[in-house]
């Protein structure tokens, strides 16, 4: 690990100031915020991230809270741990899909340390990106080795220039729930989470979201909802594993059991949580019978373009979509 300066932030303003000083042109060397450190320290140990300063957010006062927004929704501080998120009675009552997503992450030990903000901002798990001595496209090189290489765990949507998959389990669920984020930097701004993540392009392949250096996520807002939600994740091992594919689904039914609103978002299949607006509008007004569910699942994968080793993700994801919609109709 490269030597670095460790600083405890006393407040959000303090953190923003500390992160804004001594910026480097290489994004991997610029000062980084730290929540639970469950991802950041791993990338630092492999010299993937080499920040000259780490700003500890956990010393900021009055954080780690989940509070009512007074309008039936919830405000989750970005420093809430994954364990506290999953155990919160209001989250369990109104957003069960979010509890399932949080429970599916890693191990109890990692969930005790890991924060919601860190989960959304964790770096990709692509094995080429994580290889210490390899400079892939995302690390400033000129090749995405997964496109022609070992791509079993990679994206089936978009096709490049980098075919990583977005690793966070909370993100697809928060997107399906219509969450918004508060971002603190030189100014404070609110952003719907579906505008937060960025697809890799030739110009911005080294980042995964719209955060500018010095900015941090401070809050996640969940709107009030009457809808049912679920998160179904398939992993190769039953514990301590990332999604090979996952589905976050939020459905509100009318009194006659036709769909009032639906939002389905896929995880583990694209460089960002993958929204399916065509599926959402197809479902509206229909009853979730077997035929509708099956057509929705086919539609969800219609634009997938698998790589040489990940064609299995199409039937896998199709099954997960059918399971999620069938569950929400029960
Ligand atoms: C063995 C293992 C298994 C895992 N399995 C899963 C899994 O199944 N699903 C899953 O989703 N994740 C998984 N993770 C990834 C991740 O460590 C956890 O999800 C955890 O939530 C990360 O939170 P953290 O607070 O420790 O992040 P940190 O390590 O502190 O930060 C992660 C990144 O986010 C940045 N960051 C932190 N807080 C903020 C903020 N408030 N605003 C802006 N940027 C911020 C940091 O600079 C860093 O780049 C796993 C990790 C390990 C080590």
Mutate to test the pocket of ligand 1, among 7, 19, 27, 40 (most ligand atoms within 8 A of CB): 40
Cβ of residue 83 lying under 6 Å from some atom of ligand 1: no
Cβ of residue 124 lying under 6 Å from some atom of ligand 1: no
Is 23 in contact with 212 (CB distance < 8 Å)?
no
Q: Residue 240: is its pLDDT beyond 90? A: no
* DSSP string for residues in 159-172: --S-------SHHH
Mutate to test the pocket of ligand 1, among 121, 181, 237, 240 (most ligand atoms within 8 A of CB): 121
Q: Count CA within 13 A, CB hemisphere, residue 260.
A: 12
pLDDT of residue 23: 77
Q: Residue 310: is its pLDDT beyond 90? A: yes
Q: Residue 232: is its pLDDT beyond 90? A: yes
Q: What is the mean pLDDT of the chain?
A: 96
pLDDT band at 248 (very low <50, low <70, confident <90, very high): very high
Q: Residue 25: is its pLDDT beyond 90? A: no
Cβ of residue 118 lying under 6 Å from some atom of ligand 1: yes
Q: What is the Å distance from ligand 1's center to 225 Cα? A: 27
Encode pLDDT of 96-112 as tens digits.
999 999 999 999 999 99
Is 190 in contact with 180 (CB distance < 8 Å)?
yes
Is 78 in contact with 106 (CB distance < 8 Å)?
no
Question: Which 3-state string (H, E, C) describes 269-306?
Answer: CCCCCEECHHHHHHHCCCECCHHHHHHHHHHHCCCCCC
pLDDT band at 238 (very low <50, low <70, confident <90, very high): confident
pLDDT of residue 64: 86
Q: What is the Å distance from ligand 1's center to 124 Cα? A: 10
pLDDT of residue 62: 87
Mutate to test the pocket of ligand 1, among 36, 85, 122, 238 (most ligand atoms within 8 A of CB): 122
Encode pLDDT of 277-298 as tens digits.
999 999 999 999 999 999 999 9
Is 197 in contact with 208 (CB distance < 8 Å)?
yes
pLDDT band at 239 (very low <50, low <70, confident <90, very high): confident
Q: Is the pTM of this model over 0.75?
A: yes
Beta bridge partners of 267: 246
Encode pLDDT of 159-212 as tens digits.
889 999 999 999 999 999 999 999 999 999 999 999 999 999 988 999 999 999
Distance CA(322)–CA(267), nearest Å, equals 15
Q: Residue 22: is its pLDDT beyond 80? A: no
pLDDT of residue 138: 96
Is 35 in contact with 57 (CB distance < 8 Å)?
yes
Cβ of residue 105 lying under 6 Å from some atom of ligand 1: yes
Distance CA(245)–CA(235), nearest Å, equals 7
Cβ of residue 172 lying under 6 Å from some atom of ligand 1: no
Atom 27 of ligand 1 has which residue's CA nearest to it?
A: 118
Residue position matching structure tokens 């639906």: 262
pLDDT, mean of residues 12-21: 95
DSSP state of 197: B
Nearest ligand 1 atom, CA 107: 3
Distance CA(22)–CA(7), nearest Å, equals 13
Which backbone phi and psi does 254 adopt, to 5 degrees?
-80, 175
pLDDT of residue 156: 98
pLDDT of residue 106: 96
pLDDT of residue 213: 86
Contacts 24+ apart (CB under 8 A), 103-106: 104/169, 104/231, 104/233, 104/235, 104/243, 104/246, 105/169, 105/170, 106/38, 106/82, 106/240
Neighbours of 132 (CB within 10 A): 8
Q: What is the Å distance from ligand 1's center to 229 Cα? A: 23
């Amino acid at each position: 690990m490269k030597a670095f300066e460790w600083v405890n932030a006393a407040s959000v303003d303090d953190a923003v100031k500390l992160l804004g000083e001594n910026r480097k042109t290489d994004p991997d060397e610029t000062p980084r915020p730290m929540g639970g450190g469950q991802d950041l320290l791993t990338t630092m140990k492999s010299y993937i991230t080499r920040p000259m300063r780490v700003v500890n957010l956990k010393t900021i006062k009055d954080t780690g809270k989940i509070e009512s927004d007074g309008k039936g929704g919830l405000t989750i501080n970005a420093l809430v741990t994954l364990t506290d998120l999953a155990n919160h009675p209001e989250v369990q009552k109104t957003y069960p899909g979010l509890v399932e997503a949080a429970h599916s992450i890693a191990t109890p030990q990692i969930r005790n340390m890991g924060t919601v903000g860190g989960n959304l901002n964790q770096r990709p798990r692509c094995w080429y990106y994580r290889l210490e001595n390899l400079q892939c496209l995302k690390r400033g090189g000129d090749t995405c080795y997964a496109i022609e290489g070992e791509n079993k765990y990679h994206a089936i949507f978009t096709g490049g220039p980098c075919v990583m998959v977005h690793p966070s389990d909370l993100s697809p669920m928060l997107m399906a729930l219509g969450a918004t984020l508060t971002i603190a930097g030189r100014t404070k701004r609110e952003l719907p989470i579906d505008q937060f993540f960025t697809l890799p392009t030739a110009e911005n392949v080294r980042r995964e979201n719209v955060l500018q250096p010095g900015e941090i996520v401070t809050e996640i807002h969940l709107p009030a909802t009457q809808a049912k939600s679920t998160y179904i994740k398939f992993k190769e091992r039953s514990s301590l594993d990332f999604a090979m594919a996952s589905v976050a689904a939020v459905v509100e039914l009318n009194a006659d059991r036709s769909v009032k609103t639906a939002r389905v978002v896929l995880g583990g299949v694209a460089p960002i949580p993958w929204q399916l607006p065509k599926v959402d509008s197809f479902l509206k007004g229909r009853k979730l019978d077997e035929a509708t569910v099956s057509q929705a699942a086919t539609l969800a994968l219609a634009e997938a373009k698998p790589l040489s080793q990940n064609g299995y993700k199409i039937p896998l994801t199709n099954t997960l979509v059918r399971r999620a919609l069938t569950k929400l109709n029960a």
